[in-house]
């Protein structure tokens, strides 16, 4: 029996050693995949082509953050995690960015009537002191400075408005408007729309074309990577928490001030279209709606949006604008990819727009006549 068993033991050893050898090779390859060789000696063992192939499948190593980045992220994270302070009389701050007098002040006067104590008004007049026709706008100008279209001075004016509006602790939501903006709904509708949701209406989308990521500059590295670069309309509304974060930021603001400007690297970058969309995409992407509640018609594909004159304004126009329930984004590359997204308000599909621009001053009287009708839509 002993002699007959000998060949069987010898026969069993061969596959065992083969299994062990194959296992070692597998472990060696797995280790090489999970921890790819970084130096030239190790790459020589694996072959340089293997190193390149493996590295392509792996995420890049995380870079070490600078002291300024760490400080900025700590402040932003803490502000986002801090519960908002509730007030007995929450208000909306309406912030008007204008070169001078507001052409639609009489229309806004009708809009605000009867709602005293639920709003505040702040005016940044960059060229001349406004002449007012409404008591609500009297003495509401803040210290203003020159604003150049497409330059960082536009963002500076926005921050100046936010800073002044934040001085009132009752201001819980902040709306940026231009001198050509008009309301599409009545005050109560807009107040409830903004106050009873937990997001800021900041437009932000990815545009790989020349008017989107094509404006990005590598000088923004390492803090702002191209994959985070976003575009959006400057006309925002934001909750108090986000307004404070904007005022606290200096690091990312500085990047856009220095490297997002007309003529930068032979390209025209406009900070007011990229700073806030990029900043909030990086730090609170779920806290913004990714569309603006101010309607603008870019269908003519010019440098400036369509203007509405006297012949354009009608009850039907206002009804159409105030009934839109989908936001549309189009890329600026040759593909012209259009993305249509339902406007979701607290999980419900609701009208997207509360305001609209650009309306010419000649439309004022017609809009005032229409106001009692269209604000009940």
Give the domains, in start order, of the chain with CATH numbers.
Answer: 68-292 (3.90.550)
Kind of pairing, strands 348-349 and 344-345? Answer: antiparallel
State residue 264's pLDDT score: 87
3-class DSSP assignment, residue 36: coil
Kind of pairing, strands 171-178 and 237-239? Answer: antiparallel
- As beta bridge partners, residue 239 has 173
State residue 63's pLDDT score: 79
State residue 5's pLDDT score: 46
State residue 13's pLDDT score: 53
CA distance 151 to 167: 26
- Among 354, 355, 360, smallest CA distance to 307 is for 360
CA distance 34 to 26: 12
3-class DSSP assignment, residue 226: helix
3-class DSSP assignment, residue 200: strand
State residue 298's pLDDT score: 86
Q: How many Cα atoms within 13 Å fall on the side-chain side of residue 86?
A: 2
- Among 134, 309, 159, smallest CA distance to 234 is for 159
CB-based contact 91:172 (threshold 8 Å): yes
State residue 218's pLDDT score: 95
CB-based contact 308:286 (threshold 8 Å): no
- Biggest CA pair distance of the chain: 117
Instruction: Tell how far CA 162 is from the center of its chain.
Output: 16
| Number of Cβ within a 10 Å radius of residue 138 | 11
CB-based contact 235:175 (threshold 8 Å): no
State residue 58's pLDDT score: 54
Kind of pairing, strands 326-330 and 338-342? Answer: antiparallel
Tens place of pLDDT per residue across the chain (377 aa)? 444 444 444 444 556 766 666 666 666 555 554 455 444 444 444 445 545 554 555 556 677 888 899 999 999 999 999 988 889 999 999 999 999 999 999 999 999 999 999 999 999 999 889 999 999 999 999 999 899 988 999 999 999 999 999 999 999 999 999 999 999 999 999 999 999 998 999 999 999 999 999 999 999 999 999 999 999 999 999 999 999 999 999 999 999 999 999 988 888 999 999 999 999 999 999 999 999 999 999 887 777 789 999 999 999 999 999 999 999 999 999 999 999 999 999 999 999 999 999 999 999 999 999 998 876 65
- Among 182, 180, 272, 284, smallest CA distance to 232 is for 272
CA distance 352 to 329: 13
CB-based contact 295:324 (threshold 8 Å): yes
- Among 182, 178, 188, 255, smallest CA distance to 216 is for 255
- Among 290, 291, 282, smallest CA distance to 77 is for 282
Q: What token pair was written down for 42?
A: 């190790």
Q: CA dihedral defined by 351, 234, 83, 120, rounded to 10 degrees?
A: -80
How far apart, in Å, are the Cα atoms of 231 and each of 47, 117, 200, 211, 226?
43, 35, 16, 9, 12
Q: How many Cα atoms within 13 Å fall on the side-chain side of residue 16?
A: 5
CB-based contacts of 220, cutoff 8 Å, min separation 6 = 229, 255, 256, 259, 260
Kind of pairing, strands 171-178 and 91-98? Answer: parallel
């Amino acid at each position: 029996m002993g002699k007959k068993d000998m060949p069987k033991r010898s026969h069993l050893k061969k596959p065992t050693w083969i299994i062990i050898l194959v296992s070692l090779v597998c472990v060696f390859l797995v280790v090489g995949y999970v921890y790819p060789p970084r130096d030239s000696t190790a790459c020589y063992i694996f072959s340089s082509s293997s190193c390149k192939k493996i590295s392509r499948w792996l995420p890049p190593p995380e870079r070490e953050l600078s002291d300024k980045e760490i400080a900025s992220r700590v402040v932003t994270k803490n502000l986002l995690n801090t519960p908002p302070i509730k007030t007995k009389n929450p208000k909306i701050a309406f912030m008007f960015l204008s070169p001078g007098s507001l052409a639609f002040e009489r229309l806004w006067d009708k809009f605000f009537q009867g709602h005293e104590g639920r709003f505040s008004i702040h005016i940044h007049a960059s060229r001349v002191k406004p002449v007012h026709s409404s008591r609500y706008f009297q003495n509401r100008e803040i210290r203003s400075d020159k604003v150049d279209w497409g330059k960082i001075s536009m963002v500076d004016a926005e921050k100046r408005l936010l800073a002044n509006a934040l001085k009132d602790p009752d201001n819980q939501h902040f709306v940026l408007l231009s001198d050509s903006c008009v309301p599409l709904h009545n005050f109560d509708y807009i107040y409830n729309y903004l106050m009873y949701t937990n997001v800021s209406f900041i437009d932000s989308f990815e545009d790989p074309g020349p008017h989107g990521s094509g404006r990005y500059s590598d000088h923004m590295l390492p803090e702002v990577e191209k994959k985070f670069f976003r575009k959006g309309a400057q006309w925002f509304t934001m909750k108090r928490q986000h307004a404070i974060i904007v005022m606290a930021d200096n690091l990312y603001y500085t990047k856009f001030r220095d490297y997002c400007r007309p003529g930068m690297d032979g390209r025209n970058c406009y900070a007011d279209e990229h700073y806030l969309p990029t900043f909030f995409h990086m730090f609170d992407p779920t806290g913004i709606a990714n569309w603006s509640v101010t309607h603008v018609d870019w269908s003519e594909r010019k440098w400036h949006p369509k203007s509405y004159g006297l012949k354009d304004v009608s009850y039907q126009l206002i009804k159409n604008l105030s009934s839109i329930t989908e936001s549309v984004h189009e890329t600026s590359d040759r593909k012209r990819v259009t993305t249509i997204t339902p406007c979701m308000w607290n999980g419900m599909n609701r009208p997207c727009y509360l305001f609209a621009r650009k309306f010419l001053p000649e439309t004022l009287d017609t809009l005032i006549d229409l106001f009692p009708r269209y604000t009940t839509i």
